[in-house]
Structure 1
Amino acid sequence: MAADTPTIVATSIGLDSRGRDRDDCDAGPVFDLAADLSGATGTPKVCFIGTAGGDSAAQISSVYSALSERFRPSHLELFTMPNIDDVLGHLLSQDVIWVGGGSVANLLALWRLHGWDNHLRQAWQAGVVLGGVSAGSLCWHLGGTTDSFGPQLRPVTNGLGFLPFSNGVHYNSEPERRPLYHRLIADGTLPGGYATDDGVGLVYSGTDLVEAVADRPDCLAYEVQRGADGNAVETIIEPRRLR
């Protein structure tokens, strides 16, 4: 099965910690949502891509631990070489592709070098649901704010552009994210777009935002556009609670 239309779930939602240690995690309800959107039958196949985190072995191990109870996990890595010969074939065989956080700038450079940008576009157009957190949210958009270049946030403007908007992540947990996102939209560095507090995701059908979802209370999504007076205008989007 495949999603009825190309679908992306772009989030500021990470794995749920079970509380025993940092690598002991559970897949939160956003993964079930992505699998439902994919139309998966049987046990959904979820491929994790950890390029943004340098293909960290600990991160990959956490993902397998989190997903194995309800999903059929796999992963793709680039360090030190691709771990699967037929990358495109593997991506096309999945129900969901989930991209982890880290450096979106490095992710974009490496994906383009290895042709994964084109592979992922083909998978998206074929009905495989694309998703991710932080860098794994920003990458599908035209750009956003990032700490890829150092501790001071800077714009990234060369996203894949599957979605013709900018994206703001960690909107409520990192104080500089919101004002910088507003400035970049106001001055035209970034186009208007959508932002998420931690715990919130954006669901796109094709290139249309159809809803915001949340895995916890007291968090929001936002539309931010450049107003007629040249200032950024922010509109709250109430998310649907997943649980």
Structure 2
Amino acid sequence: MKKIVAIGGGEIKNLETIKIDKEIVKSTMKQTPKALFIPTASGEPKEYIEAFSKVYGEKLGCKVDVLKLIDENIKESEIEYKIMDSDIIYVGGGDTKTMLEIWKEKKVDKALKKAWEKGTILSGLSAGSICWFESGHSDSMSFLDGREEWNYIKLNALGFIKAMHCPHYNEDNREEDFAKKIMKYDVIGIAIENNCAIEFKDNQYRVLTSEEGAKAYKVFKKDNSIMKEEIKKISTYRPLEELLTK
């Protein structure tokens, strides 16, 4: 069973996404699942790793491991072993562009595809949700040194979900800019607010939330106008085809 949980945003250390995190762990159907944290996008800071370990390890009962790719001279075989040995893979937020470049260089993308096809639960937040889609609405230009002014960009990602994804949809001017990208590229857009997630299970999906009122939307171009439809939160799974077609 292929499964991806794409979280729009929220602070894991403040337990803002805890209800979603619980669902991720529960769906492994294991007493002590192995959770692998990949914090490439944020530069692998100690505080973020500790926050993840506290939530997924201490609170949710996982056996936590971390995949560090930046400063450590790790072999491709070890990368693949860590990824394939996990029940849950959680990708942290940050600079999506740099993360994907590092992944490609170290063949992390190929290992993640193998894990997904095997049935490992792929999850993550912000950069860690963009990565699973065909493309994403990214703020990676904001991470460049000395940049006071920057623009959102369309980034090609791993392509497991055939849509363009916008995380943090309720922040800044993302909604307005995402609409421009959808108008330009004419693709299906999946926009997710903070403290909201979409769980993709084989050819089905459902919305998960950790806060009342957090929402997800399908955004697409029709007759030269932008359409925005709320993706309703219901208890049952819906066919994925209805989400990824106009």
TM-score normalised by the chain length of structure 1: 0.86
Range moving further from structure 2, 75-84 or 47-56 = 75-84
2:138 is equivalent to residue 143 of structure 1: no
Match of 1:182 among 176, 179, 184: 179
| C-alpha displacement of 1:45 | 1.1
Q: Could you tell me how far apart the structure 2 residues matched to 1:200 and 1:152 are?
A: 26
Q: Which residue of 1 aligns with 2:193?
A: 197
Q: Could you tell me how far apart the structure 2 residues matched to 1:132 and 1:82 are?
A: 24
Match of 2:23 among 19, 25, 33: 33
- Distance 1:26-1:186 versus aligned 2 partners, 3 A rule: closer
Instruction: Say what the alpha-carbon RMSD is for the aligned residues.
Output: 2.0
Maintained 8 Å contact 1:203/1:212: yes
Letter in 2 for 1:73: V
Letter in 2 for 1:185: I
1:32-111 paired onto structure 2 within 5 Å = 32-39=22-29, 41-69=30-58, 70-82=61-73, 86-111=78-103
Q: Which residue of 2 aligns with 1:159?
A: 157
Q: Could you tell me how far apart the structure 1 residues matched to 2:17 and 2:233 are?
A: 19
Gaps of 5+ in 1: 19-24
Q: Which residue of 1 aligns with 2:115?
A: 123
Moved over 4 A (4+): 15-18, 82-85
| Deviation sequence 1:80-119 (CA, Å, 0-9, x none) | 1255761111111111000000000011100001000000
Gaps of 5+ in 2: 143-148, 236-246
- Distance 1:28-1:98 versus aligned 2 partners, 3 A rule: same
Q: Could you tell me how far apart the structure 2 residues matched to 1:184 and 1:15 are?
A: 27
Maintained 8 Å contact 1:15/1:28: no
Q: Which residue of 2 aligns with 1:214?
A: 209
Maintained 8 Å contact 1:185/1:226: yes
Q: Could you tell me how far apart the structure 1 residues matched to 2:73 and 2:117 are?
A: 23
Maintained 8 Å contact 2:20/2:210: yes
2:233 is equivalent to residue 233 of structure 1: no
| Deviation sequence 1:117-154 (CA, Å, 0-9, x none) | 00000001100000000000001112122111125332
- Distance 1:209-1:230 versus aligned 2 partners, 3 A rule: farther
| C-alpha displacement of 1:222 | 0.3
Range moving further from structure 2, 82-91 or 193-202 = 82-91
- Between structures 1 and 2, the one with greater helix share: 2
| C-alpha displacement of 1:196 | 0.7
Range moving further from structure 2, 28-37 or 107-116 = 28-37
SS at match of 1:178: helix
- Distance 1:158-1:146 versus aligned 2 partners, 3 A rule: same
- Distance 1:97-1:203 versus aligned 2 partners, 3 A rule: same
Q: Could you tell me how far apart the structure 1 residues matched to 2:181 and 2:70 are?
A: 33
